Amino acid sequence: DVKVTQSSRYLVKRTGEKVFLECVQDMDHENMFWYRQDPGLGLRLIYFSYDVKMKEKGDIPEGYSVSREKKERFSLILESASTNQTSMYLCASSTFSVTEAFFGQGTRLTVV
Amino acid sequence: RKEVEQDPGPFNVPEGATVAFNCTYSNSASQSFFWYRQDCRKEPKLLMSVYSSGNEDGRFTAQLNRASQYISLLIRDSKLSDSATYLCVVTYYSSASKIIFGSGTRLSIRP
C-alpha cells in the first residue's frame, strides 16, 4: 500500500511565524505536490516537484516555498505565516507518468 | 478562466437515481484524466481513470471527449454511500507532470 504521511493533522501558528509542513512518501515516486483546499475553491496547486532539488511553481506559490532534499520528502514552508494562509494543506505523490496521485491525510493549519 | 471547471452542486438526489457530473478543461495538451472522490474531512482518493473510449466500473461510467475538452461521470442506481464530493482531475506535462483538480461537485443521496 502506498503511504503518504504528513507530519501533523492540526497546527495552530501565530502570524509572522515560519511554518514547516512535512510530507513523506514510501513508494519511490518521482512527483510530489502540495495543494491547499478551501471551501468553494477546491484544491489549488501551490508547488510541485519531479525530482530531488527540482521544483515548479503551481497556481498560487506566493507566500510559500518548498524543499526537496531527498526523494521521499517534500516540505512546504510558509516564510511568514499570515491569516489568509489558514487552510487545509494536502500533499500528494505520483509516479512520473501520473497513473494515480496518492494523498496524505492533510494538515489543517490555523494562523492566528 | 479556471483550467478545470465543474458544476459545484450540490446535487441532492434520491437513492436509486442516476446522476451525471460534467467537467470541462481548458488545456488541449492535457494528457490524463481522472475522477476522484473525497469524503467529508478525508483526503481525495482515486475513483476511476477516464479513457477516450469511455470506461465503466460497476455502476460508474466515465467518458472523455477530447474534441470538446469535456469529461463526464455517470452514477447509476445511486446508493447512500455515494454521498461525497467528486473531483475532476486533469494532468498535463509542461516541464513536469502537473495535476490540476476541479473544485468538486458535491453529491448527497437521500433515502
What are A88-110's pLDDT values in tens digits? Answer: 999 999 987 777 889 999 999 99
- The pLDDT assigned to A40 comes to 82
Report yes or no: A106 at the B interface, CB cutoff 8 Å. Answer: yes
Q: How far away is chain B from the Cα of A45, in angstroms, using its nearest Cα?
A: 7
Mean pLDDT for the stretch of residues B50-58: 90
Give the H or E element holding residue A67: strand A64-70
**Lowest pLDDT segment from A12-21, B21-30, B54-63, B89-98:** B89-98
How many CB atoms are closer than 10 A to CB B28?
9
Question: Best interface-test mutation with B: which of A98, A100, A105, A108 has the largest number of B CBs within 10 A?
Answer: A98
What are A38-82's pLDDT values in tens digits? Answer: 988 889 999 999 999 999 999 999 999 999 999 999 999 999 999
Report yes or no: B51 at the A interface, CB cutoff 8 Å. Answer: no
Give the type of residue at A41: L
Half-sphere exposure of A94 (CA within 13 A, CB side): 19
- The pLDDT assigned to B95 comes to 65
C-alpha cell at A68: 526537496
Chain B contacts in chain A segment 73-102 (CB below 8 A)? 90, 92, 94, 96-101
* Cα angle B81-A101-B79, degrees, rounded to a multiple of 5: 10
Report how far residue B10's alpha carbon sits from residue B27's, in angstroms, rounded to the nearest whole number: 26
Whether the per-residue pLDDT at A83 is higher than 70: the answer is yes
Q: Do A42 and B101 touch (CB under 8 A)?
A: yes
- Phi then psi for B26, rounded to 5 degrees? -100, -20
